[in-house]
A and B are shown apart, each in its own frame.
Chain A
Amino acid sequence: MKKIRRIFGKDIGAALFFLMPALILFTVFTAIPVVAAFFISFTHWDLFRPPTWVGLDNYTRLLHDPIFGKVMKNTAIFVLATVPLQMGLGLLAALALNRGIRGQTFFRVAYFLPAVTSTIAAALVWSWLFNSNYGLINAGLSMIGVDNVPKWLASTKWAMPAVIIVSVWQNVGYAMVLFLAGLQNIRADLYDAAALDNASGWSRLWHITLPMLSPTTFFVLVISIIGSFQVFELVFIMTEAGPANATNTLVYYIYQNGFQFYQMGYASAAAMILFAIVLLITMVQYTTQNRWVHYDT
């Protein structure tokens, strides 16, 4: 309190007044639930009877839960596939649009539109597109002569790739907009200097653009990884984790256990593990960033 008073001085009343809405929302919807979940993860609780303290039981059960193992594997595959794809394609799109091609505004909007479209609506439309009997995608594949069209969302092999495709489609625009902003922040005089230094287009990309873009890349990487770990709506609408848990991912599994099987303690334990993984990865990223992130000062 002393410190707060030192920072805000005699304006503390006004400062708290303006901070209040955000503070209340954060406390009620973030801080309390997180702390509560932490404690709930050490209990058995079905929402109707009072919770009973079971110590680490939920965590040991998770370790031996074969579905949880599969969920972890699915989540890892999903993250490892979507993050590089949406970042790579987003960067390519940004580089192309940054060259000032014709219809730049149109492409910018076209790529960004999926990012602002309701995930639920998009997932529904994509479910129809992926429909193995009547979907446009398989119609197209048949037309170009593919005989054994995949059953997509109904296939344990193709359901995950389908979800990944939609997720990448939805997030490429967001990455692209961030990369575009980053590209436009690179000082033009560096390219002048590079032109005089005989750097070819590729050299300029490799030696100037990518290093100078690294703060943006770092930011996009961090938020993409966090976002990918939290995939839920796509799975919820497109596959409901099926078939046979082929697309079951961490957040969906947490939802399933909490709100379908009424195992709040078990769900909370899984949530804690998700939290720990994301925290760990983000910490590793922050501590290794000075090896490859260059801030232009």
Chain B
Amino acid sequence: MFVTLKDVRKSYGNLEVLHGVNLEIEQGEFCVFVGPSGCGKSTLMRMIAGLEEISGGEIAIDSQVVNEMEPAERGVAMVFQTYALYPHMDVRKNMAFGLRMTGHSRAEIDQRIAQAASILQIEELLDRKPANLSGGQRQRVAIGRAIVRDPKVFLFDEPLSNLDAELRVTMRAEISQLHKRLSNTMIYVTHDQTEAMTLADKIVVLRDGHIEQTGAPLELYDDPDNMFVAGFLGSPRMNFIPAVVTGSGARLICGTDIDLPELSTKLTQGQKVFVGIRPEDMDEESPQAQTLTRSVIMLEELGGTRFVHADGAGAEPLLVEQRKRSAEAPTVTARFTTDRMRVFLENGARVR
């Protein structure tokens, strides 16, 4: 394993914000830390970078424990959300600074800068000051500053959050291509599940200083361990319908009886559960599909697809995605099969 976190803890005084994180990242892997704000993902990254002290546990990079190492000795380079470019230096000097500090030769520095600039297509910006660059250009330069150091691990701390929506999509694609091209290990922090899904080889979902689940994007999407992961990944998010277990299946909050999928854990009759179905799995053609008819509250027409918001019958509104066009109707009939159904206990844990 290239990057290893063993029972990593962080506390500020008596307040523990990371409660023993265990994680392994392979060489060349693109690992995304995702979670809501305050979940500890940025703190965890800053601890890997060496910008925050490690209160407990052990972090190793390339089989070397780095707990006591200075940031610059760890072989990591970081791209900050705020870019953190030196305002008084032009782009070339910004990129050269780290190399100058580590005593690289002039020729070597020039060569590395030229190479990074060509990868990022920022050659014509080299003599400009950061103040004269757009947000996207600044982010490119910040990435360039990381590339020239040829680090073992790239750290990205919400690098796209300060960009507008359109640029974010472009830069996202570029970072993904950059990873393919450089094949360095990359760790990326974001609160945006789309970035996590599209970029990651491995997603680490964090909440309140705990890892909720780790795995490949589709693994987490299809087979979440709990309601939090199921709800966090996917947009619009999964429907969670409150239900009570009956003899043959479950009775949903609206009174409809449905079949549940085969579960290895036995549920007891009368037990409260949540039935999770993603909006895109609510309009199946299959003959085995079960149906649920609710009245329509609102309709979002997106052209290629549309989202029907249906009455939640006392719970949250039900969201049904329909990809086939049909006439507007006062009611919507959701069709779903048991194999796309996820069952969660009242405490949020998944029942498989």
Contact bitstring B68-97, A, C-beta under 8 A = 1, else 0: 001110001110101011111000000001
Choose among A192, A200, A207, A295 the residue that contacts B80 (Cβ–Cβ < 8 A).
A192
B97 surroundings in chain A (CB, below 8 A): 194, 197, 199, 207
B49 surroundings in chain A (CB, below 8 A): 192, 196
B107-153 residues at the A interface, CB under 8 angstroms: 131, 145, 149
Contact assessment for B101 and A199 in the assembled complex, using a CB-CB cutoff below 8 Å: yes
B131 surroundings in chain A (CB, below 8 A): 297
Flag whether B51 is at the interface (Cβ < 8 A): yes
Contact assessment for A196 and B78 in the assembled complex, using a CB-CB cutoff below 8 Å: yes
Choose among B46, B72, B82, B87 the residue that contacts A197 (Cβ–Cβ < 8 A).
B72
Contact assessment for B82 and A195 in the assembled complex, using a CB-CB cutoff below 8 Å: no
The interface on chain B, measured as residues whose beta carbon lies within 8 A of the other chain's beta carbons, has a size of: 24
Closest Cβ of chain A to B43, distance in Å, is: 13
Report how far A198 CA is from B84 CA in the complex, Å. 15
Closest Cβ of chain A to B82, distance in Å, is: 5
The interface on chain A, measured as residues whose beta carbon lies within 8 A of the other chain's beta carbons, has a size of: 22
A187-234 residues at the B interface, CB under 8 angstroms: 187, 189-190, 192-200, 203, 207-208, 211-212, 214
A248-297 residues at the B interface, CB under 8 angstroms: 294-297
Contact assessment for A296 and B78 in the assembled complex, using a CB-CB cutoff below 8 Å: no
Flag whether B102 is at the interface (Cβ < 8 A): yes
Contact assessment for B98 and A187 in the assembled complex, using a CB-CB cutoff below 8 Å: no
Report how far A108 CA is from B49 CA in the complex, Å. 34
Contact assessment for A195 and B70 in the assembled complex, using a CB-CB cutoff below 8 Å: yes
Choose among B72, B88, B149 the residue that contacts A195 (Cβ–Cβ < 8 A).
B72
B70 surroundings in chain A (CB, below 8 A): 195, 198
Contact assessment for B87 and A198 in the assembled complex, using a CB-CB cutoff below 8 Å: no
B42-82 residues at the A interface, CB under 8 angstroms: 46, 49-51, 70-72, 76-78, 80, 82
B78 surroundings in chain A (CB, below 8 A): 192-193, 196
Point out residues on A near B: beta carbons under 8 Å.
187, 189-190, 192-200, 203, 207-208, 211-212, 214, 294-297
Beyond A192-B84, A198-B102, A203-B101, list 10 extra A-B contacts (CB 8 Å): A187-B82, A192-B49, A193-B86, A195-B50, A196-B71, A197-B97, A197-B149, A207-B97, A211-B88, A295-B87
